[in-house]
């Protein structure tokens, strides 16, 4: 190998080290037994684990305590067969707080085919999950009363009917109309009508069980 090749290899190694250190995703490298041998700064920032505490530990990325055994088996099977796995799981920070993560794991093999290392790249997707939950809420709830809307009522009613049929149980559906509500809007204004709807909704929710659905069909 001549000097030019040595310099090129050195530049590649320096570039790889910069990418590793400056990546916004957490990166960890383990040996074949899942023992951590390297982590980058983003790993420490996301997990709250210091480098000296992480190195030498067995990584939890292959076995999340909050995910099923079947989930963990499928992950290991995919790594063995395909050399790669990616998906969403629940991880735990050093503080004990759980958070959703998107993880991609690749198996590194020796020339003989045996796995020598695993490389895990992950990101904290808490913000994305919260945004998805907000969008779901807005799409399925009345903005004034924050009650389920017609669409969510239909979904919940279909599920309730299926459960009642399966368990040979009865199901009650109650339709409530507010008498002279239009008169209130016409005489006192729509703000008063909105406050009335919010108050009625709050009182109904206080009377309902967690398994009940109270929805607003209008709006």
* Tens-place pLDDT, residues 62-107: 876 566 778 888 888 899 899 999 999 999 999 999 999 999 999 9
- Domain spans in the chain, listed from the N-terminal domain onward: 3-129, 143-207
Can you tell me the distance from the alpha carbon of 213 to that of 209, in angstroms, rounded to the nearest whole number? 8
Q: Is the pLDDT of residue 113 over 70?
A: yes
Structure tokens at 130: 């919260």
pLDDT, residue 66, reads 62
Instruction: Collapse the DSSP code of 28 into the 3-class scheme (helix H, G, I; strand E, B; otherwise coil) and give the result.
Output: strand
Residue entry with tokens 């290991």: 76
Task: Return the minimum-mean-pLDDT range out of 4-13, 38-47, 167-176.
Answer: 4-13
pLDDT of residue 219: 60
Side by side, which strands form the sheet with 98-109? 36-39, 26-31, 115-124, 98-109, 84-92
The distance from CA 117 to its chain's CA centroid, rounded to whole angstroms, is 27
CA–CA distances in Å: residue 166 to residues 35, 159, 213: 48, 11, 19
- How far, in Å, CA of 124 to CA of 103, rounded? 9
CATH class of the domain whose range is 3-129: alpha beta
């Amino acid at each position: 190998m001549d000097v030019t090749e040595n310099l090129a290899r050195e530049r590649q190694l320096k570039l790889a080290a910069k990418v590793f250190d400056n990546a916004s995703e957490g990166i960890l490298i383990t040996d074949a037994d899942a023992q951590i041998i390297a982590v980058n700064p983003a790993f420490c920032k996301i997990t709250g684990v210091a480098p000296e505490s992480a190195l030498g530990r067995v990584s939890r990325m292959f076995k999340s305590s909050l995910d099923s055994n079947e989930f963990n088996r499928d992950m290991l099977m995919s790594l063995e067969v395909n050399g790669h796995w990616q998906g969403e799981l629940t991880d735990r920070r050093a503080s004990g707080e759980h958070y959703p993560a998107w993880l991609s794991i690749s198996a590194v093999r020796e020339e003989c085919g045996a796995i020598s290392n695993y490389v895990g790249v992950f990101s904290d997707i808490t913000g994305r999950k919260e945004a998805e939950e907000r969008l779901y809420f807005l799409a399925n709830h009345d903005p004034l009363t924050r009650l389920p809307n017609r669409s969510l009522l239909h979904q919940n009613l279909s599920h309730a009917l299926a459960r009642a049929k399966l368990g040979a149980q009865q199901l009650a559906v109650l339709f409530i109309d507010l008498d002279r509500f239009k008169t209130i809007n016409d005489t006192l204004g729509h703000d008063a009508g909105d406050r009335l709807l919010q108050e009625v909704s709050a009182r109904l929710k206080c009377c309902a069980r967690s398994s009940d659905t109270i929805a607003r069909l209008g709006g």
